Chains A and B, each alone.
Chain A
């Protein structure tokens, strides 16, 4: 997949990529700025700290933020904050609403796996490109020609530590199955 604009990571996607144990490598493989909203950072801080603990060898979220690889962004105008309020009222979730509001306002893409957020973004024709977390991981593995066993370990870690499995209808379900099956 070509990433032609900055990516705003929503909470569920950030947790998924972090749970793979390869957060830093994956973010560095993306040729565009990678961002997270202040709303998501504040909401999910404890969760990501728990994931940091699960991957003591891997990159820590705080370090990636401090190093500038993951940029924390906040609403920079009443217009943007207003968009956030509109989306929060419709979606009922601050994290998803903040990611979509920043992306819609600034022409960025959003990495999210959330069914309701994706449905809302498409239904409201926000014009925000949506990316699955598995697409980001798949991009890392193919772009850097990651050895199959490294990818398998990352996905296994995502499955176990992130308690995540794609639905059968997920566009990368076949890829996931195949990558995990390698021994």
Chain B
């Protein structure tokens, strides 16, 4: 037999991988059958795992699907595909839905992340709270209660959270990617027992909106853990309870009542709370101006309808922020990949667990660019000369030295 790998692979599992790759490439079974010079029924049998595939056929199909052969034959963690999870979720149900390629990329990234962890024996540290029970209390109170509990649990006090993404990645252990999505989409959330909580926010949105999406998605992890979500504007005619809870949580998590009141009081000492004050406080909390106005309206610190009146007077947030040199949310890390993912990738490359080609693939870039990135990551992680990065800095080793 020409390939021991094909002998050991489960034909049904391989068939599923092939079918998913074919669909991603928007090819029919007839198209795929033509690639290997077979009848459509043969392709059906291959995808069902009923007919074994020859090595040259697998190579030809991988090329036609524009996927590396190693995607099909290397051992990969077994997780429930996101597209299957999202099948029933509004937002990615149709084959031509513009979010589908983003879901596929996000899933690949989460899988690659897990593969890196397993290759290096360094799982992403998790500190998951038990799922909050979303019952009994009115939405607003429940949201405030969860937000307060999480702030306490994570040691965040009641001030601004300048680096929310880092908190979710490093303190909680979520996989957070920042991916370009079509404009109406803001966030995606999925959960799998092996992957844990996975979040993606729209890289094309302003930083403060991304922060809102992070907080919003975090609630889904906290309260609706196993329910995948794709969130986009104009999604609901009647907003479901779970979404209202997520909105309210984001508001309370990013803008805790006591802290907001303190800032409002500090800025409004002379009895006036100006537009400049509004912009400064929004910047302080790293939220959008509209979000802050709505929060202040909710707390009855500003009269209801303030935001509408500002808009009617032609108030332009970006212009005003530029005049004051403010950039809310700019302290948030905006790169596509989680820090730990980057750390694992460079470690895996340097110790020879992955090839340079795979390293480039992990970041979706070419080889030369990958070399430049590798250099930058090494410098960032150490700032030291070659060899110094492996020095053991633990107490025991220092004593031994």
Of B2, B73, B367, B371, which is within 8 A of A79 by CB?
A: B2
List the interface of chain B (C-beta within 8 A of A): 1-6, 54-56, 58-59, 63, 68-70, 73-75, 352-358, 366-368, 371-372, 375, 386-387
A181 CB, nearest partner CB in chain B, Å? 18
A44 to B361, CA, bound (A): 12
CB contact under 8 A between A84 and B54, given known A46-B366, A89-B5, A116-B354: no
Q: Does A163 contact B (CB under 8 A)?
A: yes
Asked if B56 and A19 sit within 8 Å, CB to CB, the answer is no
Does A162 interact with chain B (Cβ within 8 Å)?
yes
Q: A44-B367, A78-B2, A86-B3 are in contact. Are A93 and B63 (CB under 8 A)?
A: no
18 A-B pairs whose Cβ atoms sit less than 8 Å apart in the complex: A11-B367, A12-B367, A19-B368, A51-B368, A75-B59, A81-B56, A82-B6, A85-B3, A85-B73, A89-B5, A89-B70, A89-B73, A92-B74, A92-B354, A94-B69, A97-B69, A114-B356, A162-B371
Given contacts A51-B368, A81-B2, contact A88 B355 (CB under 8 A): no
Contact with B along A87-131 (1 / 0, CB 8 A): 011111111110000000000000000111101000000000000
What are the 7 closest A-B residue pairs judged by CB atoms, nearest first?
Answer: A82-B2, A82-B3, A81-B55, A115-B352, A163-B371, A93-B355, A82-B55
Whether A27 is near chain B, meaning CB under 8 Å from some CB there, is: no
Q: Which residues of A contact B3 (CB under 8 A)?
A: 78, 81-83, 85-86
Q: Which A residues from 53 to 99 make CB contacts under 8 A with B?
A: 75, 77-79, 81-86, 88-97
| A 18-34 contacts with B by CB, 8 A | 19
Does A15 make an interface contact (CB < 8 A)? yes
For residue B138, give the distance in angstroms from its CB to the closest CB of chain A: 51
Contact present for A89 and B74 (CB under 8 Å): yes
Q: Which residues of B contact A150 (CB under 8 A)?
A: none
A residues whose Cβ falls under 8 Å from a Cβ of B: 11-12, 15, 19, 42-44, 46-47, 50-51, 75, 77-79, 81-86, 88-97, 114-117, 119, 161-164, 167-168
User: B4, B69, B73, B367 — which one has the most chain A CB atoms within 10 A of its CB?
Assistant: B367
Q: Are the C-beta atoms of A81 and B59 separated by less than 8 Å?
A: yes
Is there an interface contact between B357 and A47, defined as CB atoms closer than 8 Å? no
> Which among B5, B63, B367, B386 is the interface contact of A85 at CB below 8 angstroms?
B5
| Closest beta carbon of chain B to A165's beta carbon, Å | 9
Q: Which residues of chain B are within 8 angstroms of A79 by Cβ–Cβ distance? A: 2
Query: A residues within 8 A CB of B75?
Result: 89
- The smallest C-beta distance from B158 to any residue of chain A, in angstroms, reads 46
A86 close to B4 (CB less than 8 A):
yes
Task: Report how far A36 CA is from B352 CA in the complex, Å.
Answer: 23
The residue that A12 contacts in the complex, of B352, B356, B386, with Cβ under 8 A, is: B356
B55 touches A88 (CB 8 A): no
17 extra interchain contacts, Cβ-Cβ under 8 A, other than A88-B70, A167-B386? Answer: A12-B357, A75-B59, A77-B2, A79-B2, A82-B55, A85-B3, A85-B5, A85-B6, A93-B68, A95-B357, A114-B355, A114-B356, A115-B355, A116-B352, A161-B368, A162-B368, A163-B368
Q: How many A-B residue pairs have CB under 8 A?
A: 117
Q: How far is the CA of A15 from the CA of B372 in the complex (A)?
A: 14
Q: How far is the CA of A57 from the CA of B58 in the complex (A)?
A: 40
Given A11-B367, A78-B2, answer yes or no on A116-B55 (Cβ-Cβ < 8 Å): no
Q: How far is the CA of A116 from the CA of B351 in the complex (A)?
A: 8
> Do the beta carbons of B70 and A47 come within 8 Å of each other?
no
Question: Which B residues are in CB contact (< 8 Å) with A81?
Answer: 2-3, 54-56, 58-59
A88-B69 contact given A11-B367, A51-B368, A81-B56, CB 8 Å threshold: yes
A75 to chain B, nearest CB (A): 6
| Among B2, B74, B353, B387, contact of A88 (Cβ-Cβ < 8 Å) | B74
Choose one: B1, B5, B56, B358; the contact of A93 (CB below 8 Å).
B358
Minimum C-beta distance from A97 to chain B (A)? 7
* CB <8 Å contact, B68 and A88: yes
Indicate whether A47 sits within 8 Å of B352 (C-beta atoms), given known contacts A79-B2, A167-B386.
Answer: no
Are A43 and B352 also in contact (CB < 8 A) when A78-B2, A78-B54 are?
no
The chain B residue sitting closest to A162, CB to CB, is B368
Which residues of A lie under 8 Å from residue B353 when comparing CB positions? 116
State in angstroms the CA–CA spacing of A73 and B286 once bound together: 56
- Taken together as a complex, chains A and B put the C-alpha atoms of A168 and B387 apart, in Å, by 9
